[in-house]
Amino acid sequence: CLDYGMYRRQHFAADRPHIVAFVGVGHSSTSACIAAFWADRLRILAEVSDCELGGRDMDYEIMKHFASAFEKKTKMNPLSSLKARLKLEDQANKAKKILSANSETSFHVECLMEDEDCSGLLTREVFEELCSKTLVPRMETLLQSLLTKSGLKKEDLFSVEIVGGGTRIPWVQKCISNAFGLELSRTLAADETVARGCALQAAMASASFKVKEYGFGERTLFPICLTWTDGDSPVKVQPLSASGHPLEAESGLETLQHETPAGEQCILIPAGSDTNTIRKITFLRSGPFTLKAQYADLPAGAPEAQLDACHVSLPPAAEPQEIQVFVHLNFFGLLRFARVCVKQRREEEKTVEAPEVAQGGEETAGAETAPEVRKLVRVVKVDVPYQVQEAPGRPTTLQLRDFREDELNMDNEDRLTREKMDRLNELESYLYALRDDISGKMRDFATPEERAEIEALLESSQQWVDDALVDISTVAKSAVVAKLEELQAVGGKVSRRFEEYSGRQEAQQLLHAAVSESRVAAQSQDEAYAHIPVEEKRKVMDMANETEAWLSEMMAKQSGLPPHVDPIVTVLDMHNKRDALLRFTQKVFSAPRPKPAAPPASEQPAPQEDVNMNEGEQALPEAENAAPVGEPQPQQAA
């Protein structure tokens, strides 16, 4: 309904309901409802369901038909064998889908029982005849009860929407169309609309998503009754809103002035009531009592469905007291006892300023009068302790703790399983890579004995991995890691020889380039390095020559060794030699140039006049010859 109304509300009126019937036929059950849509909200008017009317029941009719024919032929009942039953069910499901678009189909199951095949022809007429005995009447009864519960006529409906895979079957469509007297509408995605509606409701309830407001509310499918013990019936049952404000009395809720004997029940919430409401029940009690809430008017054969129960620990009193019990039915239809309180009358003394009265009966303004003490009676609500009792389907605190521990244990097992699978995949990948390398590019880098050892280890490791993948729970993570380390220890020696061989030439070229760079720097006549002492340059040259001689000696020894022998000189050794040579060269040639010596004092230049003086200005006189500011200067003789 939410998927239908959310995207069509611009077509709905704000003051006139748009009434639509929805019928969904799934694999195991059928449900139907009638909803009224407005521009800003929707309301469920009626709802019915049958948990034993679905696609699998149609499959079972086909199964019984061919099982009977097979039993007449072979004297064996395939429905008595689980394996044969599953084969029949699979083929019956395929035949049902084919008959949705075709008039007939072949039915064939090879080797159903004791090498006997089951085959035949199934037409749509035969299929509809099989379903007409039990399924069609149940469908008609279900849809008729929906109209009866809603109190509407067929003419009040705007359209009938069908969803679910079962509504693709022709006889189902015909039955729905006849029940409502309308052509069927298929504007919703039959296989996705329920999931889309759930996603919309989840987004509206989440703080992480912003969804346009569209009001909708759940309604109770069955009435909820209240059962009490140890006393008379409640004096009053009053409906309240979710915020606690009184609502208008509903039919049957202004209850029973002591007309029901103890131990019986009254309707607390009628069927079809809106959820997210509160009921206030008022009792007259002088001692403790017990309350239970459960569904009423359940279908025949349904187990008793207790929703909640509580024991009110009211201290014994001489006279009955007015006890108020608040029951909350939340938005999702879950019921709980929210509060229990008792009304008590308390006397309080309050000081009141009494005005002075004159002889004529008039008050004297401004006169001083003695305060008057008055006794006021105030009614207060005092909470009464109560214990919520265990109810079927309601876990206790201990059970919730156990569930939490089980959840954490399962999370830990899942994490450990993922880690073991990752290590197993890593082991298997290394195993395949080593098998390819030892028979390919790294073959010459292992002795015949080493190759035989590695191949034998690869064979046993492959078998070990295959056994571990059958049941990963029986394998320890440490065992997988140990097996991988064992393979890496054997294959690592050959891999290192191959890597040394592959990187040796590049490392040799880099070291030769570093030697040449150091020699060029040591022999450079560049003015930028003129301050470097000759002795330091000679040290750089000597180190370059020593490095080149070391490299020539090592490479001469290495060239005479076969590939399957560990190298005398490694790539890391050559990189270390190169880094040491370049660091020493950089240290020598990055020395700063010395600062020039300061000239003697006698050769220092004379101070110049102030270059900042503007043109036309004269320098100020010396301090001893300067006249005070504001006094006239003396005239010199001509």
Question: Which domains are present in the chain?
Answer: 1-217 (3.90.640.10), 224-353+371-388 (2.60.34), 397-490 (1.20.1270.10), 499-589 (1.20.1270)
Please identify which residue in the block is written with the tokens 């490299």: 551
Structure tokens at 47: 């709802």
Cα distances (angstroms) measured from residue 545 to each of 320, 371, 512, 556, 580: 114, 117, 11, 17, 13
Measured distance between the N- and C-terminal CA atoms of the chain, rounded to whole angstroms:
122
Q: What is the pLDDT of residue 239?
A: 66
118 vs 111: CA distance, rounded Å = 8
Backbone conformation region of residue 392, classed left if phi is above 0, alpha if psi is from -120 to 50, else beta: beta
- Sequence-ordered list of residues with C-beta below 8 angstroms from that of 177, at least 6 positions apart, any chain: 160, 183, 184
242 vs 239: CA distance, rounded Å = 10
Question: Does residue 305 contact residue 320 with C-beta atoms inside 8 Å?
Answer: no
Q: Is 311 helix (H, G, I), strand (E, B) or coil?
A: strand
- Sequence-ordered list of residues with C-beta below 8 angstroms from that of 126, at least 6 positions apart, any chain: 65
Cα distances (angstroms) measured from residue 29 to each of 58, 203, 247: 11, 27, 36
394 vs 503: CA distance, rounded Å = 69
Question: Does residue 427 contact residue 478 with C-beta atoms inside 8 Å?
Answer: no
Q: Which parts of the chain sit beneath pLDDT 70?
A: 230-264, 318, 349, 351-373, 391-394, 597-638
Question: Does residue 176 contact residue 184 with C-beta atoms inside 8 Å?
Answer: yes
* Torsion angle, alpha carbons of 235, 230, 336, 328, to 10: 0
Structure tokens at 184: 């069927």
Q: What is the pLDDT of residue 284?
A: 84
Q: Is 460 exposed, middle or buried (0-12, 13-18, 19+ CB in 10 A)?
A: exposed
Cα distances (angstroms) measured from residue 609 to each of 17, 283, 599, 612, 614: 102, 113, 22, 9, 12
Q: Which residues pair with 118 in a beta bridge?
A: 109
Question: Does residue 255 contact residue 285 with C-beta atoms inside 8 Å?
Answer: no
Estimate the crossing angle of helix 534-559 against helix 477-522, to 10 degrees: 130
159 vs 169: CA distance, rounded Å = 19
Structure tokens at 638: 């001509």
Q: What is the CB neighbour count within 10 angstroms for residue 167?
A: 21
Please identify which residue in the block is written with the tokens 């270059």: 611
Cα 523 to chain centroid distance, Å, stands at: 70
Q: What is the pLDDT of residue 250?
A: 40
